[in-house]
Amino acid sequence: MNAEQLTPRPLIGKDGLSAKLLRMAFASEKSMRPRSRNFKRQVVSLATAVATVTIYLSFIEHRWAIYVALSVGYTIILFGLAWSDNKMRLFFRDNSRSLSEVVRLHLTYLLMLMAWIWLTQYSRPSLPSWITYEGDHHESWFLIFVLLGIITIWWLEQSRLTAKPKPNPFSPNSGRSK
């Protein structure tokens, strides 16, 4: 063995890590963001699935189990995707929207979601069979319609929560002189 082979090499420098590894180690946050966002989305998806299924299976004997499970799953996916896309700060833009207002808005849309699920669940028996028929190779038109309604409610809530809030004319800090 050669004495040169026995001497330890420096970790950083000409003989150490390759230039590619150094670039990856000291990459800007911007270049790492897509990988981080994808990982966050995977975590959110897994958390949504686990929480929804766990709650539903825990309370399956109750009529309200589907509503609670969907509410929890919807809440996790809504705020989780906002967190993964770094949009949570838009919910509280310039401290003009309080946490209680965000919760109130979210509860309003959860109520709309529950009303939509209830309406679709109880209207299904009165619909024609060609709408509710589930074939071997495709989903029913009914299921597609239900999912489109849920996506629409989610989109409406996202756009409402990320929009700049309008000033409340009745708040004490509205700038009116007495």
pLDDT at 160 (0 to 100) = 86
In this predicted structure, the answer to whether residue 28 has a pLDDT above a threshold of 50 is: no
User: What is the average per-residue pLDDT within 2-6?
Assistant: 55
Query: Which among 33, 43, 50, 150 is positioned nearest to 85, based on CA atoms?
Result: 33
pLDDT at 112 (0 to 100) = 94
Mean pLDDT score across all residues of the chain = 77
CA distances from 129 to 124, 126, 133, 134, 143 (A): 9, 9, 6, 9, 13
C-alpha to C-alpha distance for 148 and 167, rounded to whole angstroms: 32
Predicted confidence (pLDDT) per residue in 106-163, tens digit: 999 999 999 998 898 888 888 888 777 777 766 778 888 888 999 999 899 988 887 7
Query: What's this model's pTM, rounded to 2 decimal places?
Result: 0.64
- Domain extents for the chain? 31-86, 93-164
Confidence of residue 9 (pLDDT cuts 50, 70, 90): low
pLDDT at 16 (0 to 100) = 47
User: What is the average per-residue pLDDT within 48-76?
Assistant: 93
Other CB atoms within 10 A of residue 44 CB? 19
